[in-house]
Structures are given as C-alpha cells and as structure tokens.
Amino acid sequence: MNHLWSPWRSRYIESFSDADRNETCFLCDASKIDSQDPLLIGESELCIIIMNRYPYNAGHILLSPKRHCPDLLMLSEEEYHDLMVLTRIMQSVLVSTYAPHGFNIGVNLGVAAGAGVPGHVHVHIVPRWNGDTNFMSTIGDSKVISTSMEKIVLELRQNFNNVMNSTNAQRGTAL
C-alpha cells in the first residue's frame, strides 16, 4: 500500500482540536445574523456558504445548515433540501467563476470518517484541475494556492449573489 503524506494539513486538524476545547463552532458563529466573518460567501434561509480556512484548493468551500446539527439524518426535510440546492448552485458558481476540470463533493460524518467538525454537518466542495496535485505538498511540506482567499471570497460572493438575484427574479420569491 502506498501512503500519501500531507503534513501541511496538521495546522487544520489542530485548529479543530482547539475549537473543541473552547466549545465553539465556527459554523454557528458564521451563521449568526450579525456575523462579520470575512470568509462568509452567502446564505439562504436555512444554510450558509463559507470559504474553507484551510483549503485543499482555491475555491474549497463549505456549505452548512445554520442550525447546529451533527448528521444529515437529523436535518429537517427543508434544511436537507436547502443544503442540496445550495450545493448544486455553488457547483455552478464555481464552474462559471473558475472553470475547474472536476470536483470532490462530500460530507464526512463522524470523527472516524474524518469530520473536522463532527458536531455540525457540512458539505465540502473542492474544485479540481488536471495536475493540481504535485510534489509541493508531499515533498515541500507546502500547498500552493495561487489566489488570495480575499479575492476568492469576493468573486464567489458576487457570483453567488448574481445567481440568487437572477433565480429570485425568475421565481418571484426567495430560496
């Protein structure tokens, strides 16, 4: 069996250990009405979209219900539907913004499955490009993200708002 080492992820894993000790949830904090989280991309009535602070790739985002809930099975039908609709919308936004060659879209449920925030279910959308993995992360102990996080958030926020405004205008209602 071959092993792929990614020591650059240690900072990410350790950040959740600290959060668990402090009993805070960054997804809940970002969901608050008065949230000023600079990584918040957008929201619907029941869910939020936030940039991953420790991304695998440029544009790696998280979608989460606003309600603190550990599992898909515990979401209401409305929350689940909203989460899945936003996932599809954000995949489309990422396609139109960055034209990735593919995606990893997934949910890690529970610590054993790799959930960094096991108490608050969230969907990862990771845009992928041919050749986006290279020696830097395995040999150089570094991950290269070629665009600033601030720029990515602004671009995704603007494109998300454009899609939502267009969708709402067509429907005559909010999501």
**pLDDT confidence of residue 113:** 85
More confident residue, 35 or 139: 35
% pLDDT > 90, the chain = 57
Domains in the chain, start-ordered, CATH in brackets?
A: 7-167 (3.30.428.10)
Among 3, 68, 81, 122, the active-site one is 122
Average model confidence (pLDDT) for the chain?
83
CB within 8 A of 16, min separation 6: which ones?
116, 117
More confident residue, 72 or 145: 72
> Nearest to residue 59, comparing CAs of 145, 160, 139, 135?
145
The yes-or-no verdict on residue 115 having pLDDT over 50 is yes
CB within 8 A of 35, min separation 6: which ones?
29
122 as an active site residue: the answer is: yes
List pLDDT tens digits, range 27-39: 999 999 888 899 9
